[in-house]
Amino acid sequence: MKIPRLTDTTLRDGDHAVSHSYTPEMVRTIVRNLDEAGVPVIEVSHGAGLNGSTIQQGFSVHSEFDLIKVAVETAKQAKIASLFVPGIGTSSELRKAVEIGIRAIRIAVHCTEADVTEQYFRLAKELGIEAVGFLMMSHTQPASVLVEQAKLMESYGADCVYVVDSAGALVQTGVRERVSALKEALSIEVGFHAHNNLGLAIGNTLTALEAGADQIDGTLRGLGAGAGNAPTEVLVAVLNKMNIDTGINLSTLMDVAEEVVALLMKTPIVIDRDNLSSGYAGVYNSFLLHVRNAAEKFGVKASEIMEELGKRHAIAGQEDWILDVAVELAKKKG
């Protein structure tokens, strides 16, 4: 098993879990510790990507560009990356983030919509930064479809394409099939991004590595949307136990996870009924806070909303369905 490149996305995926309330001081502290620990890539942006601070996705307390600037100024070794979702972000935001100093962009789309990414991959390469493809909600499509989509991204200039388990819905056989298929079909690197709704974030990440994944993601303390991600510090500990030396200082990671990130959590990151139902139904994890708000407002269970969204195959960008479903369920209850 090769030594993977680890991206910590506490300051992007974790943004969902803290209701987009990161401050410059928080970013500086977390980046400094991750950088000193030797984490090679740190992702910083609104949870929904550049320009994600909207009424639909949730407003940020501080401008993400201010936070990215702090991250770039703080990191001495790590590469600062951001997430970019076409339709939420535009070329203007991508250019601005590069001007501030990001060195990688992760271009994320639903796993059947790679064709909308071409202009952004081309722009990223024109601007001289690393470009990574994110095939979100990868559990919804078989490996053959993901291969077709990943090949498109590769043809546009992607340096790596990720299998992204946005709902935490994949089990290990599904991870192995998808990662193996991309490794066989592509000449570029393959990555894997896990969520923990079924308690498999670490196991699935190890399975991805066994299948040949080159890049993996984690967040400190598992801080992320829904049931969170593979905890960065746990990933490093497990890899150390497997004699896979990432060069990352575990002690520093444990300290910042315990003494900084744990204190930011508004609620514990656990696999409760809502998170389990999200993973089981295959619903996008970033929906959770919106689902819980709608459930409380209309007097229905969040798990019932999740179940119905799963039946409707809701994807990112369809957050407006949450209220529709909540209203319909409330009417049925009479």
Query: Is the pLDDT higher at 312 or at 86?
Result: 86
Quick one: pLDDT at residue 310? Answer: 81
Domains of the chain: which residue ranges? 5-264, 273-333
Average of per-residue pLDDT across 242-262: 97
Query: Is the pLDDT higher at 67 or at 2?
Result: 67
Choose the weakest-confidence range: 40-49, 93-102, 151-160, 289-298: 289-298
Short-list 59, 169, 156, 67, CA closest to 114: 156
**Catalytic one of 16, 20, 110, 139:** 16
Task: Read off the pLDDT of residues 129-154 as tens digits, 9 standing for 90 and up.
Answer: 999 999 999 999 999 999 999 999 99
The dihedral region occupied by 102, where left means phi > 0, alpha psi between -120 and 50, and beta the remainder, is: beta
Q: Residue 42 gets which letter from DSSP?
A: E
Second-level CATH architecture of 273-333: Orthogonal Bundle (1.10)
| Top-level class of domain 5-264 | alpha beta
Annotated binding site for Mn(2+): 13, 193, 195
Query: Is the pLDDT higher at 297 or at 105?
Result: 105
Active site residue 16: yes
Mean pLDDT score of the chain: 93
> How far is C-alpha 195 from the geometric centre of its chain's CA atoms?
8
DSSP H/E element including 43: strand 41-44
Q: How many CB atoms lie within 10 A of CB 320?
A: 10
Rounded to whole angstroms, the maximal C-alpha distance in the chain is 59
Average of per-residue pLDDT across 16-44: 97
pTM of the model: 0.92
Query: Is the pLDDT higher at 254 or at 328?
Result: 254
Task: Read off the pLDDT of residues 107-121 as tens digits, 9 standing for 90 and up.
Answer: 999 999 999 999 999
Average of per-residue pLDDT across 245-272: 94
